Amino acid sequence: MNAERLTTPKEKVQQLQEKLGHAAKESKKRRFHALYDKVYRRDVLWEAWRRVRANKGAAGIDGETLQDIEKMGAAQFLMDCEARLRGNRYHPQPVRRRYIPKKDGKQRPFGIPTVRDRVVQMATKLIIEPIFEADFQESSFGFRPKRSAKQALERIRKACNRKGNWVVDVDIQGYFDNINQEKLMKLVEMRISDRRVLKLVRKWLAAGVMEEGTIRRSDLGTPQGGVISPLLANIYLNYFDTLWERHGKQYGELTRYADDFVVICKTKRDAQRAHNLIHAIVERLELTLHPTKTRIVGLWTGEEGFDFLGMHHRKTKAETSKGRVYYTTQQWLCKKAEQHIRDVIKERLAPPKARVQSIEQHVQWLNPKIRGWKNYYGTPYSTRKMAKLDFYIGQRLAKWYAKKRQRRRWMSSYREVNVIAKQCGLSTLV
């Protein structure tokens, strides 16, 4: 009894998730009917709040921030969530639409749900995710527990090295905005029969978007920025993964990360057949392949490569100790990722307001970023590009230092500022 009292909400939720996941694996045709009361369980709501708070994020259309809730008291807020869910009085609000500028001048839409909606979505996700996890395929890596982009990259590298000389590089056009909500709900209903949980999901899909004071609703898409969206997106594309396992496995090995995926094939003929099958399945899901980003790439000569998950993949010649020549798959950070790193550094160090801060503050801000880039992009084949980026960081610091000291030329400051940065503990990419 004492041990039970000491169990944290996180541990209790993990126990519940294990039970649900185990039950789902035991029977692939089982439909779960008693889930709604678990969504508003106190420990589930506390764990949902902990995760939402850790993810940070801005206020939704109601203007209520995470800080506002903490001032009011998280316990009171969660009791109110519980009461609304228990009494069927919970109604989600429209998502606040914001736009993120893209490199090509276009803008990417991004949605910000209210904190309350994020917490209830997270609580629902905690309950239903283990059930769908039992059905998800090995080929899927995006937005899944204990799965990462690094694992997807390793799968691709191995598939290419197993005589995978042709690649179907696939991009779905406007995926999150074009999911057919009715078909999505049918896929959710294959595992969940609890009407109140299904009603919750329908409410989020129908909540719409608030833009310039106007609410827009659509029969297509999932709520972008919503906590539940990645799971719903995976449920929808799991239909693709399952059909590929049944009908496409003989053509090539699929690796999917959210809406981006590649199929590694041994021959050009297999790649063309794979492309035709992909087109047919995607059409059945009422989605469209991007006309220019979806392509067949030949790797075997080493002249062509492809970008996936921020890495460039290409076969290059190598030699054994006995002088036998063979091709091996190399991965290094792609041009887009390299440019993104440069942009992040420039955005931090170039503006006039950056001169007010000390070098210690800049180093403190840069270090976690540098470590993150190194952990993800650091391969034996990225060394040259990483060294160039290290030089770029030094260059930017020298330019910042010269302006702070009102010097005309930054080059004379390069060595001095880099010695200081090193003393402050600046991390390096190589």
Give the per-residue pLDDT at 135.
97
Q: Is 425 helix (H, G, I), strand (E, B) or coil?
A: coil
- pLDDT for the residue numbered 324: 82
Helix 74-86 and helix 42-55, axial crossing angle in degrees, nearest 10:
120
pLDDT in tens, 84-94: 999 999 999 99
Mean pLDDT of 138-154: 97
pLDDT at 103 over 80: no
Give the torsion sign (CA, 32, 34, 36, 40).
negative
In which band, very low, low, confident or very high, does the pLDDT at 2 lie, cut at 50, 70 and 90?
A: very low
Task: Tell which phi-psi region holds residue 325, choosing left (phi > 0), alpha (psi between -120 and 50) or beta.
Answer: beta
- CA 279 vs CA 75, 186, 229, 236, 263: distances in Å: 50, 22, 24, 16, 13
Q: How confident is the model at residue 105 (pLDDT cuts 50, 70, 90)?
A: low
Which of 3.30.460.20, 3.40.640.10, 3.30.70.270, 3.30.930.10 is the CATH number of 138-180+224-332? 3.30.70.270
DSSP E strand boundaries for 3-106: 95-101
Q: What is the mean pLDDT of residues 332-341?
A: 96
Residues 303, 214: Cα–Cα separation, whole Å: 51
**What's the pLDDT tens digit per position in 225-239?**
789 999 999 999 999
Structural contact between residues 133 and 193, judged by C-beta atoms closer than 8 angstroms: no
CA-based nearest residue to 426, from 335, 333, 349: 349
Mean pLDDT of 341-367: 96
Read off the amino acid at residue 67.
Q
Q: Rounded to an integer, what distance in angstroms lies between the CA atom of residue 294 and that of residue 172?
A: 8
Amino acid identity of 133?
A: E
Model confidence band, residue 49 (pLDDT cutoffs 50, 70, 90): very high
* Mean pLDDT calculated for residue range 190-211: 94
Report pTM: 0.90
Distance CA 414, CA 372 (A): 25
Query: How high is the mean pLDDT of the chain?
Result: 93
Mind listing the pLDDT tens digit for each residue in 339-349? Answer: 999 999 999 99
What is the model's pLDDT at position 107? 74
**Statement: residue 169 has pLDDT above 90:** yes
Among the listed residues 182, 259, 171, the one whose alpha carbon sits nearest the alpha carbon of residue 220: 182
pLDDT score, position 1:
43
Output the six-digit token pair for 296.
């067949």
Domain boundaries, the chain: 9-134+182-219, 138-180+224-332, 334-424
CA angle 109, 114, 119 (to 5 degrees): 115
Q: Which amino acid is at 363?
A: V
The residue assigned the tokens 């993949």 is 313
Q: 302: left (phi > 0), else alpha (psi -120 to 50), else beta?
A: left
Question: 391 is written with which tokens?
Answer: 């030089």
